[in-house]
Amino acid sequence: MGRSAILLTILACFLGILMNCIVIHTIEKKNQGPANQTVPDIFIFNLSIADLLCLLSVPFLNHQLQGKGAWQFTATMCSIIMALHSNTQIVSTYVLTTMTVGRYLALMHHIRCNYIRTSYTARLAIRLVWAMSLFTIINIWMYTGLMPLPGGLMCYAVLLPNPSNDMYWFMLYECVCFFVLPLAIMGLALFKILQNMTTSVAPLPARSLRARIRRARMSLAICLAFFTCWVPYYILQLARLWEHNPSAFTYAYNIAICMGYTNGCINPFLYITLSETFKRRFMKVVQPLKRKMRVAYRRRWQRQA
């Protein structure tokens, strides 16, 4: 990976960790514990946790790239980092999918599904998402290991028994389970929401219509960010199966990886800019910090004067 790509990844990682910590703190500050979280809070909180854990594993992988592919830690650490990275990446995708389906039920079947969209059901769905993610990365646990290279050992996630044949099925499994299927579900749910809003016969009150548009806008923006950030990576993953000289698009592949990591950085900005409720909570958390920084700056200035 080139130096510019590494620097871009580090910047996205730092911003993502900072913003996701702020989102988690904002939700915790407002609810005073998990028991008081609303359905959107539960989804956003777990999405931020997954993005944060995924971004925390990135420095270890970057350290390997800066060391010319050499892994400086133990084999156990390699398995833990790769499993954490893959697991949280999948959780983030599945939480987005569940959140979009929940938004579809809230907007399209509000009365019929009102008893389903409860905090208890949302927590149950999140537990299933984490359990499913652990199940889907069994192959990562099985085939992650240290691969000998001329410059040292490399932490690699796909040490398959028969690489020439198994790699094809591994890549196909990864693309379908981690990208194509979730994207198809999200796309269908958003299509139904937009179709209903544009073809609705019964006129809605202006306030209700604005609320629906705001909710649909946020869901659409999050899904578009997911698609934009990850589609280059998965296209290049599939292209590698038929490319006999993988180094031919190494630069594009590195940029695609950086774009994937920026998804965890973009999501918190979308919550803050597109959700008025979350923006108000965020400002309540930020204002005391700004006052403390202003007071500290004044005291420092007075001491110097």
Residue 256 confidence (pLDDT) above 70: yes
Beta-carbon contacts of residue 212 (< 8 Å; ≥ 6 apart): 107, 197, 204
Residue 228: count other Cβ atoms within 10 Å of its Cβ.
13
Residue 208 confidence (pLDDT) above 60: no
Residue 128 confidence (pLDDT) above 90: yes
pLDDT the model gives residue 7: 75
Which CATH number is correct for 3-197+204-298, 3.40.30.10, 2.30.42.10, 3.30.930.10, 1.20.1070.10? Answer: 1.20.1070.10
Say if residues 43 and 23 touch (Cβ distance below 8 Å): no
Confidence of residue 266 (pLDDT cuts 50, 70, 90): confident
Confidence of residue 211 (pLDDT cuts 50, 70, 90): low
pLDDT the model gives residue 205: 57
- Domain chopping of the chain, boundaries: 3-197+204-298
What's the whole-number mean pLDDT along residues 4-17?
A: 79
Rounded alpha-carbon distances, angstroms, from residue 19 to 86, 174, 277: 21, 28, 17
